[in-house]
Amino acid sequence: MKNRLKVLRAERDWSQQELAERLDVSRQSVNAIETGRYDPSLPLAFRIADVFGLAIEEIFLREG
């Protein structure tokens, strides 16, 4: 499952650490999700959508 975290973070000039704090997860979790090592849980996906003010579908992409 691909995602646009890196770009969204860059647009806001947030470090992985900063995003992790806003999401209340570890920096390693943000890194792992961002680099595609695993997908977030659904509750975390909702929090991610919330901090960016976007729909889940606008951040995480069904990949072919």
Q: Which of 28, 50, 51, 58 binds DNA (CB under 7 A)?
A: 28
Residue 58 near DNA by CB under 7 A: no
| Site residues, a second copy (CB under 8 A) | 1, 39-43, 45-46, 49-50, 55-57, 60, 62
Helix (H) or strand (E) holding 3: strand 2-3
Contact between residue 40 and residue 33 where contact means Cβ atoms under 8 Å apart: yes
Dihedral (Cα; 49, 53, 57, 58), 10-degree rounding: -120
Residue 41 near DNA by CB under 7 A: yes
Q: Which of 8, 25, 52, 59 binds DNA (CB under 7 A)?
A: 25
